[in-house]
Structure 1
């Protein structure tokens, strides 16, 4: 009876009521579960009911509970088996934040076109805004205080105001903080925009905090609204949060993607596999120009060195050819991959034990320079796949799930584009990687750039979002290599150009989550 009371109380907490036969069935099912795991199972069952079913009533019948239990049981079986997965950018699940229920709900529409109507452009900006907004108002600086018995106990320091609050006020307002997107509606004049309206801003006296502030990025602007203009005194990035905090609010939703129905972060079995396999390592290379004999010679040295201790994974990022070859570009690239497959075949231990992931670069063959980029065509990679069985030609960006870890790989010359479109360039240029990493994590997006600089398919903008924050972000860039740890249990890595930077690369050790600098000496 105590267990049934606990079940009914948990459902009531989520605004749902169980019919008597539903509570009896659920009580019988959870009677076989360890007492410590009952709360986790209840959260997953309720989450399944809310995400996958349009409820016409808050009263939950037995059929709904049975379906939810079956789905959660299938998810548990998947969690135990799914050790490695490469996730296509076009298959990343779509979740939309529901303001009324304060939860992320799965978008079940399957018919997404590459070239949709104009309303889809507005929608993905709204989705970006809501992701940042709901995270910001939960932050300790902006969250409303709990029960306050005395003014001295007030804990929140700031309160966000929408743009319509500024536009609709006739009184003199003091200092305000607004969360909005920096945009340039008229040339040479900046505005701050949110779903409620647009207000012109004066940035002439603004103090800029850490970050790279570009057009179409979301910012926290502090200032005074006078004479129909918002005079900004300070501009900063929205606060970010560790993935564990996000999951505490939204449960075990699988935002990341892959075959599992639930997130794998809490899988005890996968975490044990990850910790026990201390020798697992990922070798990360970018700008691997396969048409240069010198590069192929260095790759032979690399494979020979690792033949005795095969890495778990090789990640190769493009561009895979040093220069455009015009009409013969695809033919040349196919020959290069054939040569590479022959080279790898000389090392049977790597063929049997290692996986190879190839992420295309901006100059590699593809349908236009729009993100996400599809994988390289099979006509170029067929021989490689037949000779090296564990080969994955991925999209750009792509996602890799290894045990309980979430890894995002993105090949883009991001530093150059971000700095070129900044409304204010930081003075400490030696710390550009720090500014870049803070920006993309606070924006929860890999490329917070204007569309004329970095076009994105409107319906697949979610593939570039990084929320919750993954464990490792590989930002393969022609900029010099760096390793940028964060306070959010996330590490950002740029391996640099293998072909131009003296054949240097990075090695990632998943068990310890450490990154090593490596180089092939002459």
Structure 2
């Protein structure tokens, strides 16, 4: 690799973390690569490690300081191979944290500082006019700063032919008087009072004309979602669309390398080095650890409790005890959020029956963490997102017989070592399809599943819909945010089950537990992958 090519590779890596290099720092890094005989194909990976560690330093500046860079390099040399150190026995229970939506700290994007700032005030369930505006602006700024870091948008500091392929993001205020010119805009899709679809950014709106668009890009385009649109500005003050697509998704490792010092979950931040160590330890020491996820656990259905009984029996007989079992609602086959007294009484009795069932398997009751997540039809203190846990009065017997019981909000998160698992119980596919404003024609079922996952992750939000379609508490909108990208997302839905990995994030839907067979999903942290499971009660096989 020629010197200029190496320089471009080094600058590209540091630019990814919003840093620029002076001649002295660039020369130092080239010398480090030469001293360690780094092969051409390993240059970016090696420099990336130094750039990540530099970015975490308290005195790190946007223009890389040579003294700080040298300190980072020396510390990396002293640290050596983290896998060669003495290792204590891992205790997975001490690294399991359930984070409810209402316990997550609220971080807003600061345009002045170009980073996140923690909200200083008290959050309320009703929200305020300011918070309703702020949550939309936060979504816009988070997506925009990810786009500007993307390799197709970030210009190189060295002369390169790549500049010809770069795309420049514009604002609606730059359209004024520039008829016939081509623009690329980022904004939220919404409907005007006249019923026209428009795109809105921080500076204004422009009506979209889809007359000459062959077909949109991949994904589901709904009102309330953000989109990248490219088109010609016409004399009618509309944008004649040439192409429309989802904003690019930023992988978790890039976001963590920039904002790893921010404690988004409220359980303490970890360094990238600690994350790497945890990944190795989980893979080596906890290779058989599993988490079970069940959805639509209708306790009033005659087949549900026998199915759970068989599941627990199989686990005990095969010495295969899951560390966590997540049960998602609805916990009744009929919505009882406003049910009669007799229906509420039956609801209570079924949870008591579940407690007795778990207690009949002491090993599971004693060692397994049970997480209960409400569905849209369960009895909660509120009906908008995020939903509070099911009222604790229903779980008196469960609490007495299951010591590791956790009542989760919807959505909620599990932090397991360095992994973040988001659990969301909502009929997301049906709601998105009912409100879609653009999708490719003749889409098959498998494509719809892929488009749904892509849209949710590209939007960095669990509910990319207008507030009149899916009401969300504006003060707690950050609890639905998917930034940095989680390790795994459970989109529990009554729709067909699926699993796929997108931008390094594993997403799956365990499907309804009750059906022709008892279906659920088992997630394996060591592989960051899930397995679709079916319980056959007749043959006693899982």
- The TM-score bracket by the shorter chain reads 0.7 to 0.9
Q: Is the 8 A contact 1:264 1:404 kept in 2?
A: no
Superimposed CA distance per residue, residues 145-183 of structure 1 (whole angstroms, 9 cap, x where no aligned partner): 3232x7x452552100001111x2x23342211001100
Quote how far apart the aligned CAs of 1:484 are. Answer: 1.4
In structure 2, relative to structure 1, the CA distance for the partners of 1:465 and 1:250 (3 Å cut) is: same
Q: Is the 8 A contact 2:270 2:418 kept in 1?
A: no
In structure 2, relative to structure 1, the CA distance for the partners of 1:254 and 1:519 (3 Å cut) is: same
Among 294, 297, 306, the residue aligned to 1:288: 297
Partner of 2:226: 218
In structure 2, relative to structure 1, the CA distance for the partners of 1:502 and 1:266 (3 Å cut) is: same
Counterparts of 1:461-480 in structure 2, within 5 Å, are 461-480=477-496
Partner of 2:340: 327
- Write the distance in 1 (CA, Å) between the matches of 2:399 and 2:206: 54
Counterparts of 1:235-384 in structure 2, within 5 Å, are 235-255=244-264, 257-262=265-270, 266-267=274-275, 270-275=278-283, 276-307=285-316, 308-324=319-335, 326-328=339-341, 329-384=343-398
Secondary structure in 2 matching 1:231: strand
Secondary structure in 2 matching 1:497: coil
Q: Is the 8 A contact 1:143 1:156 kept in 2?
A: no
Partner of 2:4: none
- Write the distance in 2 (CA, Å) between the matches of 1:298 and 1:185: 50
In structure 2, relative to structure 1, the CA distance for the partners of 1:305 and 1:349 (3 Å cut) is: same
Tell me the matched-pair count: 453
Structure 1 runs (4+) greater than 4 angstroms displaced: 37-45, 79-82, 261-265
Counterparts of 1:411-422 in structure 2, within 5 Å, are 411-422=425-436
- Write the distance in 2 (CA, Å) between the matches of 1:337 and 1:201: 52
Select between 426-435 and 452-461 the one with higher mean Cα deviation.
426-435
In structure 2, relative to structure 1, the CA distance for the partners of 1:260 and 1:153 (3 Å cut) is: closer
- Write the distance in 2 (CA, Å) between the matches of 1:357 and 1:188: 44
Q: TM-score, normalised by structure 2?
A: 0.79
Quote how far apart the aligned CAs of 1:204 are. Answer: 2.7
Superimposed CA distance per residue, residues 411-459 of structure 1 (whole angstroms, 9 cap, x where no aligned partner): 0000000011001243213211100010011100001012122110011
- Write the distance in 2 (CA, Å) between the matches of 1:97 and 1:375: 28
- Write the distance in 2 (CA, Å) between the matches of 1:47 and 1:412: 44
Partner of 1:433: 449
In structure 2, relative to structure 1, the CA distance for the partners of 1:301 and 1:383 (3 Å cut) is: same
- Write the distance in 1 (CA, Å) between the matches of 2:241 and 2:52: 45
- Write the distance in 2 (CA, Å) between the matches of 1:47 and 1:265: 19
Quote how far apart the aligned CAs of 1:44 are. Answer: 4.8
Partner of 2:519: 504
1:180 aligns with 2:187: yes
Superimposed CA distance per residue, residues 209-254 of structure 1 (whole angstroms, 9 cap, x where no aligned partner): 1000000100000100012111112110000111111122233322
Counterparts of 1:28-39 in structure 2, within 5 Å, are none
Superimposed CA distance per residue, residues 73-132 of structure 1 (whole angstroms, 9 cap, x where no aligned partner): xxxxxx9995110001011122222233322222232x1111133222111111110010
Among 186, 211, 218, the residue aligned to 1:204: 211
1:493 aligns with 2:508: yes
In structure 2, relative to structure 1, the CA distance for the partners of 1:279 and 1:80 (3 Å cut) is: closer
Partner of 1:394: 408
Secondary structure in 1 matching 2:274: coil
1:514 aligns with 2:525: no
Secondary structure in 1 matching 2:192: strand
Select between 323-332 and 439-448 the one with higher mean Cα deviation.
323-332
Superimposed CA distance per residue, residues 16-47 of structure 1 (whole angstroms, 9 cap, x where no aligned partner): xxxxxxxxxxxxxxxxxxxxx99988755628
Superimposed CA distance per residue, residues 36-62 of structure 1 (whole angstroms, 9 cap, x where no aligned partner): x9998875562899xxxxxxxxxxxxx
- Write the distance in 2 (CA, Å) between the matches of 1:491 and 1:324: 30
Select between 227-236 and 406-415 the one with higher mean Cα deviation.
227-236
Secondary structure in 2 matching 1:208: coil
Partner of 1:143: 154
In structure 2, relative to structure 1, the CA distance for the partners of 1:428 and 1:336 (3 Å cut) is: same
Q: TM-score, normalised by structure 1?
A: 0.82
- Write the distance in 1 (CA, Å) between the matches of 2:373 and 2:210: 39
- Write the distance in 2 (CA, Å) between the matches of 1:394 and 1:112: 19
Over the aligned positions, Cα root-mean-square deviation in angstroms equals 2.5
Partner of 1:26: none
